[in-house]
Amino acid sequence: MTGPQTTPTPVGDRPAADAGGVSVEVHDVTVAYHRRPVLWDIDVSLPAGKLVAIVGPNGAGKSTLLKAALGLVPLASGRIEIFGRPLRQARTLIGYVPQRETVDWDFPIDALGVVMMGRYGRLGWVRRPGAADRAAALEALRKVGMQDYASRQISQLSGGQQQRVFLARALAQDAMLYFMDEPFAGVDAATERAIVDVLRALRSAGRTVVAVHHDLQTVPEYFDHVALLNMRLVAAGPVAETFTRANLQKTYGGRLTILDEATDAVRRQGL
Amino acid sequence: MDQFLRLLTLQDTNTRVVMLGTTVLGIASAVVGCFAVLRKRSLVGDAVAHAALPGICLAYLVVGERHFAALLLGAMLAGVTAAAFVAAVRALTRVKEDAAIGMAIGGFFGLGIVLSRLIQGQPGGDRAGLDSFIFGKAASMVSGDARLILAVALAALAAVALLYKELKLLCFDRDFAAGQGWPTLALDLALMALVCLCTVVGLPAVGVVLMVALLVIPAVAARFWTSTLSTMLVLAAIFGGASGLVGTALSATVPVPAGALSRGWPTGPLIVLVAAGIFGVSLLCAPRRGLLADLWRRAALRRRVALQNLLRDAHEWLEHAGSFDAPWRAQTVSRSGRAAPRLLARLAAQGLIAPAAGGFVLTKDGRLAAARVVRSHRLWELYLIEQADIAADHVDRDADQIEHILPQAVIAELEDRLVAQGRLPAPAGAHAVPESPHPIGAAAPMRGRTLGLLGGLMLGASALLSAPEPAGAAPHAAAQADPAAQAGSAVAAPSATPASAAEPTAEPAAEPGRRSHTRVWFTVGDYQVRDDDLWTAATAAVCSVACGLIGCFLVLRRMSLLGDAISHAILPGLALAFMLTHSRDPLPMLAGAMTVGVLTAVLSAGLNRWGKVPEDASMGVVFTTLFALGVVLVSLAARDVDLDPGCVLYGLIEFTPLDTVAVGPVHVPRALAWLALTLAMNTALIVLFYKELTIVCFDPALATAMGISATLVHYGLMTTVAITSVASFEAVGSILVIAMLVAPGATAHLLTDSLGRMLCWAAAIAAGCALAGYALAVWIDTSVAGMIATLSLAVFVLVALGAPRHGVIASRLRSRPLAAPAQQ
């Protein structure tokens, strides 16, 4: 565990963010929910220091891929490496912005408290957050333009503000790699701008962002790199080369019926 | 035995009506319970049942005699009130349903205990009548009562028959039903009314504490055998009826241990245990969903996969060798290893291979079978490569796992498609084997890998299922080795035990002799407040605060009902530890209670995952079964000690000052000492793990992503709840404790938006309710624990209405100015 860090510059055992490096390496990963495979044999490397979009239709397994990379769902087979290390050794390098709906907004906690949670991972068991963590949390809130709402209870924030608080929490994690599950879902235009600015600032600081993204129109504008997913990987690469009509058609052009039937067979056999 | 059979076959004229009554009751509850379970309302039934107790007592106070129909009417009204309370809290406040149910269970039951004590204090208070409603006593039913039960149960069955289609739609898809124009709210209410009705008429036989089991267990058991609702209803009816019949007959015939409960076995626990037995058999043996069938299916599939792999290996080896008639050996063609002789024997027995010089040869059938396997394998590989864009060097392993279970129709479709796309030459015949899409030799080593798709799936499933052991348990056990001591002292209650609710009340106030030599601190009116009063009040306050603090996290994590389940389920742990060691050794007691407590959490989660039983129903099954077992064990243990089932219900806080330990110069009640230790432990744990508890309650996914194990924190919390319940057992029993766990936290949640302040509020509310509850209970001479639970609920209701920000009134007032301009 590294100590609390207030400066966002990579130090110590943190990997240098060279543009040519690999942030996430996914080897032959298959993931199943309730014995039903939702990701088949994904094999992809995502570059470091880039903004990466994961794009695909509903039920394509986009969120699942993020969760698998975070160790939130077990892998049926394969492995995932973060900056060339197994997940266990890379946890403090990763930040996470989950979907907004997954949280109990009535929880008795204010915006600053939520952002402070971003510091918990590096503190380890039992140790309490200190003044440095508080300063880092306030700084993260300032970056997303939410410093005036620090002591608001979270249910009293608008959807866009809640999303920005989540983003601030991820910033407070001071991670090298951020996983974001639909950061732009259901937010107002101001928040969308604010998020884009934060993403670009992260990129300039050499950080990597991997985001599930729904809005195909904005992919070329917001992202450098794209992975097209529909139960299996359709294509991955720089947006200019990969985000083509042909690849999109392949991604969205109907499910693979036989793959579905095989999935059903697996489930029916009760394996 | 003869007597048992006579009862079962309804030959005994004295008991015929009663037996018939409990049987039909079992049938009706099971049928209604099916809908409650499917509508995920199982534990509302529990709240309704517990709430019936104050209804019965109030009806008794109003009518002034044990008029059966009036008592049931009172129970019905109180049950409906409890259901309405739960619905209102869910709809109108930020407090979640589980906490509302927990408070209804504890609060209403507390009120019932308070009232029943008051009634016992009245001259001519006919206690036996009310007492039988707690654990059920079919024997105390007169035939008029049984006829009423019979009539009501039949009416409930008729109502289900009439509303079958509507209820089915409601349970399956409420929104669709609403879209079709069905009055879903009215239907929901009708279902709750039916649940109330069954619960209420079930009380005399099963009792308020365990009635929910008769709703839930038969329904859940029936679900294992069938996948159609109508069959499920019939099976549940059979299971429920059988439980009622056999349980009642058992209670009437099994000899009661000498010196134990003098008036025979309580019916409720026995009926529940019979139902639980049926459930256990269903869980294991049901043909499709049962655990044994599942194990067998998996074993059969593994066997088939191994056989097919061997066949395929042979086929590919022979293909390579150029002749399908050549002899081969298992060890040269495949890596099946030690299993090879068994597999070969099996293949030979099926006539697929035959021994020959130099090993085995494939028979004609064997060649066909092998060709079929290889064909599936290669078609699937081709498909993965061509259609799913999976690299050729990856496909073999995936194909390896899937080909064994792909239906032949899918294989045929695969082939057609690949041929149609020109990826494959038209097949020469039905069993033509296509070329392998990758070099066979290179791929062969991959085949032995066990962590392929299916293996991985199984591993994943078992990882999901195997809940980690509560690592938090060990330090707690060391630090808290002692609280079980007082649990022991509760089971082996001191000689001044006030017996059950059956005996006249024996309040400390009623023993002037003992009180006289303690100091009078001050007087309130003409009541002299003495040492014992202060000790008892302190015990109550410490217990309440210890529960209230840890309860905050139960409320926030929406685990209130698991807390309820654990506090019920520790009973058999305590009883077993006592029976095994014949001592009040604190360690075994604590170990027993903690084991069963954590087991409850693990079993509920396991039933939910393995058995696909809804979460609330699986808790209902586990804790009622364990509690019924506990009551029976406690009744058995009564042979050895002077033991009091009443203590299980509402504790013996009034008598805690009798059993003291010396702490320095002061003699402190033992219970207080252990509760103080527990409080210190809970406070320390919350302070130490504040950060972890917060993040796991708020966002378990983030916690896991950060490397803070949500599972570890979860089981740590459950262990702490179990320890706290054990420590509170002597003071408040194992039912009222849920009110103390949940109510302060839920109340505090309405008062503040900061977790730190919520904990402070919860502690203050808990202490206040405990002290005020003690004073009130002494004043009107009733059960202290019951009064505290009642007050906790009352304070919650007041706060829910009047809280400045989150109260119902405040939010109504706030919404008005917004609405007003719109109307102009």
DSSP B316-336: HHHHHHT-TTS-B-HHHH---
**B744 contacts B773 by C-beta, under 8 angstroms:** no
Rounded Cα distance between B709 and B717, Å, is 12
Comparing C-alpha atoms, which of B536, B563, B542 is closest to residue B678? B542
CA dist B737 → A98, B235, B568, B772 (Å): 36, 35, 9, 17
Nearest to A192 by CA among A175, A215, A176, A210: A215
Q: What's residue A117's pLDDT?
A: 87
Residues 93-122 of A with CB under 8 A from B: 94, 96, 98, 102-104, 106-110, 113-114, 117, 120-121
Chain A positions touching B380 (Cβ under 8 A) are 262
Burial tier of B40 (Cβ tally within 10 Å: 0-12, 13-18, 19+): middle
Interface test with B, best of A70, A115, A157, A258 (most B CBs within 10 A): A258
Q: What is the pLDDT of residue A200?
A: 93
Q: Do B407 and A233 touch (CB under 8 A)?
A: no
User: Which of B10-19, B157-166, B258-267 is least confident?
Assistant: B258-267
Per-position DSSP letters for A5-23, written without gaps between them: --S-S--TTPPP--TTSEE
Q: Which of A71, A92, A256 sits opposite B387 (nearest CB)?
A: A256
Query: What's residue B240's pLDDT?
Result: 94
The mean pLDDT of A112-136, rounded to a whole number, is 85
**pLDDT at A173 > cutoff 70:** yes
How many contiguous H segments (helices) and E segments (strands) does chain B have? 37, 6
Residue B492: the pLDDT is 38
Are the Cβ atoms of B388 and A259 closer than 8 angstroms? yes
What is the pLDDT confidence band of residue B319, given thresholds at 50, 70 and 90?
confident
Q: What is the mean pLDDT of residues A29-40?
A: 78
Residue B456 near chain A (CB below 8 Å):
yes
Given a contact cutoff of 8 angstroms between Cβ atoms, the answer to whether A15 and A93 are in contact is: yes
Alpha-carbon distance values, A254 to A54, A250, A259, B102 (Å): 18, 8, 12, 48
Q: By the 8 A CB rule, do A3 and A92 touch?
A: no
What local confidence, expressed as pLDDT, does residue B260 receive?
46
What secondary structure, in 3-state letters, does B83-97 show? Answer: HHHHHHHHHHCCCCH
Condensed to tens digits (0 to 9), the pLDDT of residues B379-412 reads 777 777 766 666 666 655 555 566 666 677 777 7
Q: Is the pLDDT of residue B258 over 60?
A: no
Average pLDDT over chain B, rounded to whole? 78
Predicted pLDDT of residue B277: 93
Q: Is the pLDDT of residue B506 over 90?
A: no
| Strand, coil or helix: B267 | helix
pLDDT band at residue B424, thresholds of 50, 70 and 90?
A: low
Give the list of residues 6+ apart from residue B697 with CB closer than 8 angstroms, or none.
A107, B553, B556, B557
How many CB atoms are located within 10 Å of the residue B109 CB? 32
Residue (of B180, B127, B24, B86) closest to B797 by Cα position: B86
User: How close A101 comes to chain B (CA, Å)?
Assistant: 11
- A209-248 residues touching B, CB cutoff 8 A: 232-234
Q: Are B500 and B645 in contact (CB under 8 A)?
A: yes
* DSSP notation for B124-191: T--HHHHHHHHH--GGG--HHHHHHHHHHHHHHHHHHHHTHHHHHHHHH-HHHHHHTT--HHHHHHHH
Q: Is the pLDDT of residue B443 over 50?
A: no
Query: What does the pLDDT read at residue A140?
Result: 92
Closest chain A residue to B293, measured at CA:
A270
Among all residues of chain B, which has the CA nearest to that of A89? B707
Query: Is residue A41 left, alpha or beta, with left meaning phi > 0 and alpha meaning psi from -120 to 50?
Result: left
Q: Say if pTM beats, i.e. exceeds, 0.80.
A: no
Percentage of chain B surpassing pLDDT 90?
A: 17
Spatial neighbors of B317 by CB under 8 A, at least 6 apart, are B328, B332, B333
DSSP bridge partners of A37: A32
Q: Which of B527-536, B539-548, B761-770 has the lowest mean pLDDT?
A: B527-536
A108 and B298: CB-CB below 8 Å?
A: no
Q: What is the pLDDT of residue B468?
A: 37
Contact A108 B752 (CB under 8 A): yes
- The percentage of residues in chain A with a pLDDT greater than 70, rounded to a whole number, is 85
Query: What's the Cα-to-Cα distance from A57 to each of A60, A229, A236, rounded to whole Å?
Result: 6, 8, 15
For residue B795, the model assigns a pLDDT of: 94
B642 pLDDT tier (thresholds 50, 70, 90): very low
* Contact assignment for A258 to B752 by CB distance below 8 Å: no
Summarised one tens digit per residue, pLDDT across range B743-790 is 999 999 999 888 999 999 999 999 999 999 999 988 888 888 889 999
Reported as a pLDDT band with limits 50, 70 and 90, residue A47 is very high
Residues in B 565-594 with any Cβ partner in A closer than 8 A: none
Tens of pLDDT along A184-201? Answer: 988 888 889 989 999 999
pLDDT of the residue at B490: 39
| Residue A211: predicted pLDDT | 94
Candidates B457, B556, B685, B749, partner chain A, best to mutate (most A CBs within 10 A): B457
In the predicted model, what is the mean pLDDT of chain A?
Answer: 82
CA angle B645, B649, B653 (to 5 degrees): 95
Structure confidence at residue B821 (pLDDT)? 47
Of B294, B452, B706, the CB nearest to A121: B706
* Cβ atoms of residues A25 and A81 within 8 Å: yes
Task: Using an 8 Å CB-CB cutoff, list chain A residues near B692.
Answer: 120, 125
pLDDT category at B278 given cuts 50, 70, 90 is very high
Q: What is the pLDDT of residue B505?
A: 36
Q: Is A254 on the interface with B (CB under 8 A)?
A: no
Strand partners, A230: A232
pLDDT bracket for residue B512 (50, 70, 90): very low
Beta carbons of B456 and A258 less than 8 Å apart: no
Residue type, A82: I
Residue located via tokens 């060990």: B474
Task: Tell me the chain A residues in contact with residue B752 when contact means C-beta distances shorter than 8 Å.
Answer: 108
* Identity of the residue numbered B156: A
Which run of H or of E encompasses B216?
helix B211-225
pLDDT above 60 (res B17):
yes
Lowest mean pLDDT of B60-64, B163-167, B261-265, B636-640, name the range. B261-265
> What pLDDT score does A12 carry?
44
Query: If phi over 0 gives left and psi between -120 and 50 gives alpha, with beta otherwise, what is residue B64?
Result: left
* Number of Cβ within a 10 Å radius of residue A7: 8
